[in-house]
Chains A and B, each alone.
Chain A
Amino acid sequence: MTLSGALEVASCTDPGMVRSHNEDSIASDGDQGLVVLADGMGGYNAGEVASGMATTVIITELQQLLERRVPYEIDAQSGQLVAHRLLHEQIAKANTSIYQAAQSQPQYAGMGTTLVVALFYDNKMTVAHIGDSRLYRLRGGELRQVTKDHSLLQEQIDSGVITPQQARQSQNKNLVTRALGIDPIVEAEIHDYETQPEDIYLLCSDGLCDMVSDDDIGLALQTLSSNLKLCAQHLVQTANDNGGRDNISVILVRVLRDYPASRSIVGKMMSWFK
């Protein structure tokens, strides 16, 4: 199944103004409705190895699997949506690869990565995330954060210790409570959302949302929606103008039209024989 023409995707990644290398990694396949962003961590270049492994494993495996599997169907074995099962399995696979590399090669010891993946199909999107990389949605001029960080700060906000406004002043920004590749098993948070034509989705690493306010992000998405590539570059530039303390990565997805799955027999037959 291909979504060609339904989504417009643009992205930009930059080391920022302070770091010498870029430990973020991004990948996308607009025709398959698949976007992946990872923000690696670990000494020397281990962070970029971890984030690179995560995006590569997830995008290449899912590209192949989506040729054969239909994401909106219910998986007979697990009773889950196929989309969920595929994401669970491939995230587990990426986790194992990173974890094993970290265990077996001393230079990679302790490496890990955050992750946010969105899979678009049948006028819907399934989002999986781990850590503090985020997905936002712009709809009707309003920007909303869709994912909730797995971080100490978010837990403090949830328990009422600190307000979201105070959180911007916090010194405890860099502590995530979940990451890919740190433990033998990781639980990704997975949710489904309806999409609408004209929606714009933003996936980003914390290098963007720590440096640029939600208001400025919203203004950029709204003003520059007709030129997604420019919009991605502008967001990165704004983060750099504000200091660019961390690597900055941005993936933008605009929904151009409805993309309902073809549920006719013929459509199914076609997808079987592909």
Chain B
Amino acid sequence: MAKLILSMDGLVLKEIALTKERTTIGRKPHNDIQIDNLAVSGEHAVIVTILQDSFLEDLGSTNGTVVNGQPIKKHFLQNNDIIELGKYKLRYVNEAVAGQAKAADFEKTMVLRPGSVKPATAAPAASAPAGPAAAAPVAVAAAVGAKNFSDTVAGQSATAAPVAPPPKPAAAPQKNAALQLLSGANAGKELDLTKPLTTLGKPGVQVAVITRRPQGFFITHVEGASFPVVNGKTLDAQAHSLNDHDVIELAGVKMEFFLKT
């Protein structure tokens, strides 16, 4: 479940779990998180939580709300965001993200069903923060209950709604690489291999592609009757891993693959 850690001058004052659909922050006592400081407006900001996602919204406060150094009006909170209100800091911690390795097994697709939530089927709501029934009036027209998809895995999945965070962009290989043409009209020219896919050759005659992967660079035959030749050896249909200074021959043109520092 997501929570906020309230601190001032590096001193932790309080932890607040985001269990409600709306968690209000302000100076006045009726707020869920009351910060009694003149720099904080009476109704300063609100955090709207929908299942595992939380959104911070400034309620037109006098001094504004700052997240990670940037003033915001509305902000989709990410793990470890720092919300600043005057001298106070609120750190947003989403354990679903922190514990993603463990959650990997559970990130199964589930069905959200409109209609009434029977107590027996409401297990996920009971343990999930921001019970789904209360969670998404903006999102789903009907009252929504998250019924666990399979009763047989209900026990596990009650804690399981979190999905791992989105993939980071493919961990590109550390090194950059390029091709230098050794023959043909453009001999001497260099071609940087910056894209995930770079095609070589003449469409309709012979085409190969160089893929940039976390493991390195690979050349694969795409079309044409003849296959590319690397260091004098003709390739088959399989991808072939490229090494520094490999010489590729394709559609009558020779080129050298090399890694850049």
Contacts and interface: CB of A to CB of B under 8 A. Distances in A.
A67 to B, nearest CB: 35
A111 B150 contact: yes
B30 to A, nearest CB: 25
A168 to B, nearest CB: 5
A41 B109 contact: yes
Interface residues of A, number: 59
B55 A161 contact: yes
A109 interface: yes
A96 interface: no
Contacts of A169: 76, 78, 165-166
Most buried by A among B139, B164, B207: B139
A73 interface: no
Given A162-B53, A210-B167, A242-B170, A41 B108 contact: yes
A242 B167 contact: yes
B51 interface: yes
Contacts of A57: none
Interface in B143-180: 146, 148-153, 161-171
Interface stretch (B6-14, B208-216, B243-251): B208-216
Nearest to B220: A230
Contact of B223 (A112, A175, A227): A227
Contacts of B162: 171
Interface of A, secondary structure class, is loop
Given A152-B140, A241-B214, A224 B197 contact: yes
A159 B213 contact: no
Contact of A171 (B53, B108, B195): B53
A166 interface: yes
Interface in A198-227: 206, 210-213, 216, 219-220, 223-224, 226-227
B125 interface: no
A111 B109 CA distance: 11
Given A161-B50, A175-B112, A243 B152 contact: no
Q: Which of B51, B53, B207, B213 has the largest count of A CB atoms less than 10 A from its CB? A: B53
B50 A172 contact: yes
A234 B167 CA distance: 17
Interface residues of B, number: 56
B111 A171 contact: no
A4 interface: no
Contact of B51 (A18, A46, A152, A226): A152
B18 interface: no
A177 B53 contact: no
Contacts of B83: none
A171 B94 contact: yes
Contact of A230 (B78, B108, B110, B222): B222
A174 B170 contact: no
Contacts of A242: 167-170
A227 B111 contact: no
B140 A41 contact: no
A169 B197 CA distance: 25
Interface of A: 18, 39, 41-44, 46-47, 106-107, 109-112, 114, 131-132, 152, 155-156, 159, 161-162, 166, 168-179, 182-183, 206, 210-213, 216, 219-220, 223-224, 226-227, 230, 234, 237-238, 241-243, 245-246
16 contacts: A41-B111, A42-B153, A110-B151, A156-B50, A156-B136, A162-B76, A169-B165, A171-B51, A175-B146, A177-B111, A213-B169, A220-B196, A223-B209, A227-B222, A230-B209, A241-B171
Interface of B: 50-53, 55, 76, 78, 94, 96-97, 104-105, 107-114, 136, 138-140, 146, 148-153, 161-171, 195-197, 199, 203, 207, 209, 211, 213-215, 220, 222-223
Given A41-B111, A156-B50, A242-B170, 7 more contacts: A114-B109, A172-B52, A172-B161, A174-B163, A220-B197, A227-B222, A242-B168
